[in-house]
């Protein structure tokens, strides 16, 4: 018997460790409402420890109420209701202190189909975290709707005008209107690409297709593109070391990183935009800096968040660019920081490791 007791304690201890590793709150009770287990996350969310709760009645230690003040456990009624019921959908509930939690339950039956309830497994999620996530999603929808409205309105206006009055316009007027439509279509495409990038970064589904990349050559190509688009050639200065290692990177994503950082420097900075590329032993470091007002230390931690636009909100943009840059750099196994440039402006510096062709998708 002593050996059996020891085995039981070992199994119980292992179960406690397992549920304590779960990120969500977990409470287990029998069908009568007697608490059997509480994991560490549930104790943190509710303020009720396992020592205080185990063996007690659910309504005594976890008196969840809905928005109308009704007792959740009494409404759950594990012993009643349909015998085929196995899950209770997640819903927002409150504890007496006013804290909101999202609570769901699973009813374990014996036998599994239509048997008596043996255990009730309750999961808890932080209502504040859920509210912040929902606000973030609402902000994203609002931003996207705002950013899409302007180019789509322009496209619709010009195409409708051309269709209705084609013969009244000269070839030059038609060309100008069609160029505007083309530019606005490019703007919509960029926005959709940004949204897809955000989704892939947040879900961990960002794929890298590595190849040997000449980082200085990619930087020169992007500078040339900006000059061809109308920027002064003297606005850019490229400095590249002679001892750069062979870099296995995703070329398109490196172009996206460099393009975003240069766009940010041109739009929000002043003076010369300097791109410096140097070897750091285990990889390559790239700095993009301007000579503008820079970013104050207290704002630096916010720069890479979604929708951050600093004091330049009036200049448009989704505020997703630097968030995407950070995600792309980290997907390569690198890091990125923002600091004050020697000339007084902002300096974005990212470092990516050398890598090998054996790297798989990330």
Task: Give tens-digit pLDDT for 144-189.
Answer: 777 778 788 888 999 999 999 999 999 999 999 999 999 888 888 8
C-beta separation of 93 from 66 below 8 A: yes
**What is the token pair recorded at 180?**
């505007």
321 in any annotated domain: yes
Tell me which long-range contacts 92-96 makes (C-beta under 8 A, separation of at least 24): 92/66, 92/67, 92/127, 93/64, 93/65, 93/66, 94/64, 94/65, 94/66, 94/67, 95/46, 95/62, 95/63, 95/64, 95/65, 96/63, 96/65
Q: Do residues 234 and 296 both lie within one domain?
A: yes
In Å, what is the CA distance from 132 to each residue of 116, 137, 143, 144? 39, 9, 16, 18
358 in any annotated domain: no
Q: Do residues 142 and 170 both lie within one domain?
A: yes
Q: Check residue 310 and give its pLDDT.
A: 61
Is residue 10's pLDDT more than 60?
no
Residue range 292-310: mean pLDDT, rounded: 79
Q: Do residues 268 and 192 both lie within one domain?
A: no
**What is the token pair recorded at 153?**
């309105």
98 burial via Cβ count (<10 Å: 0-12, 13-18, 19+): exposed
Specify the pTM: 0.59
Q: Check residue 194 and give its pLDDT.
A: 80
Q: Do residues 32 and 96 both lie within one domain?
A: yes
Residue range 283-288: mean pLDDT, rounded: 94
Phi, psi of 76 (to 5 degrees): -65, -45
95 in any annotated domain: yes
* Nearest-5° Cα angle at 357, 254 to 220: 30
Distance between CA atoms of residues 259 and 119, nearest Å = 56
Average pLDDT, the chain: 84
Chosen domain end from 171, 203, 235: 203
Is residue 282's pLDDT more than 90?
no
- Of 140-144, 167-171, 266-270, give the lowest mean pLDDT range: 140-144
361 in any annotated domain: no
Q: pLDDT band at residue 12, thresholds of 50, 70 and 90?
A: very low
Residue 55: closest CA among 42, 36, 28, 40? 36
Chosen domain end from 105, 127, 149: 127
Q: Do residues 149 and 283 both lie within one domain?
A: no
Residue range 124-142: mean pLDDT, rounded: 73
Strands annotated E in 186-305: 210-212, 236-240, 248-250, 273-279, 283-289
Q: Do residues 92 and 166 both lie within one domain?
A: no
User: Where is pLDDT greater, at 177 or 190?
Assistant: 177
Q: Do residues 66 and 6 both lie within one domain?
A: yes
Q: Do residues 276 and 164 both lie within one domain?
A: no
Domain that holds residue 316: 210-353
Q: Do residues 216 and 345 both lie within one domain?
A: yes
* Nearest-5° Cα angle at 250, 277 to 229: 65
Give every CB contact of residue 196 below 8 A, 6+ residues apart in sequence: none
Q: Check residue 1 and give its pLDDT.
A: 46
Residue 321: closest CA among 288, 282, 276? 288
Q: pLDDT band at residue 43, thresholds of 50, 70 and 90?
A: very high
Distance between CA atoms of residues 319 and 315, nearest Å = 11
Is residue 98's pLDDT more than 80?
no
18 burial via Cβ count (<10 Å: 0-12, 13-18, 19+): exposed
- Of 94-108, 298-312, 331-345, give the lowest mean pLDDT range: 298-312
Dihedral sign of CA atoms 264, 269, 335, 238 in order = positive
Q: Do residues 93 and 190 both lie within one domain?
A: no
Residue 291: half-sphere exposure toward Cβ, Cα within 13 Å: 9
Q: CATH code at 68?
A: 3.30.450.20
In Å, what is the CA distance from 331 to each residue of 210, 302, 349, 350, 355? 12, 20, 16, 12, 12
Say how many domains are in the chain.
3
Q: Do residues 214 and 342 both lie within one domain?
A: yes
Q: Do residues 249 and 275 both lie within one domain?
A: yes
172 in any annotated domain: yes
- Residue 34 per-residue DSSP state: B
Chosen domain end from 127, 161, 178: 127
């Amino acid at each position: 018997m002593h050996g059996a007791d020891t085995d039981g304690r070992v199994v119980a201890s292992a179960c406690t460790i397992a549920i304590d590793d779960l990120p969500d709150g977990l409470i287990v009770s029998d069908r009568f409402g007697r608490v059997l287990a509480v994991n560490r996350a549930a104790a943190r969310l509710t303020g009720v420890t396992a020592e205080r709760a185990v063996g007690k009645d659910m309504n005594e230690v976890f008196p969840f109420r809905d928005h109308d003040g009704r007792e959740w456990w009494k409404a759950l009624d594990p012993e009643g209701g349909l015998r085929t019921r196995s899950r209770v959908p997640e819903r927002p509930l409150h504890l007496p202190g006013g804290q909101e939690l999202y609570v769901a339950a699973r009813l374990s039956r014996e036998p599994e189909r239509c048997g008596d309830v043996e255990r009730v497994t309750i999961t808890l999620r932080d209502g504040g975290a859920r509210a912040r996530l929902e606000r973030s999603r609402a902000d994203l929808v609002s931003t996207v709707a705002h950013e899409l409205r302007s180019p789509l309105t322009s496209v619709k206006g010009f195409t409708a005008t051309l269709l209705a009055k084609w013969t009244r316009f000269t070839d030059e007027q038609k060309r100008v209107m069609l160029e505007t439509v083309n530019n606005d279509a490019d703007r919509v495409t960029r926005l959709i690409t940004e949204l897809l990038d955000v989704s892939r970064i947040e879900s961990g589904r960002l794929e890298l297709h590595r190849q040997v990349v000449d980082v200085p050559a990619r930087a020169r190509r992007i500078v040339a593109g900006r000059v061809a688009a109308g920027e002064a050639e003297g606005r850019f200065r490229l400095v590249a070391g002679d001892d750069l290692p062979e870099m296995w990177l995703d070329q398109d994503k490196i172009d996206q990183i460099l393009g975003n950082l240069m766009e940010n420097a041109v739009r929000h900075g002043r003076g010369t935009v300097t791109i410096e590329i140097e070897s750091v032993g285990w990889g390559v470091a790239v700095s993009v800096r301007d000579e503008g007002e820079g970013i104050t230390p207290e704002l630096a931690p916010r720069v890479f968040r979604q929708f951050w636009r600093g004091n330049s909100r009036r200049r448009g943009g989704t505020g997703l660019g630097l968030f995407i840059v950070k995600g792309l750099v980290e997907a390569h196994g690198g890091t990125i920081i923002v600091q004050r440039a020697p000339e007084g402006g902002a300096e974005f510096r990212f470092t990516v490791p050398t890598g090998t062709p054996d790297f798989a998708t990330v």
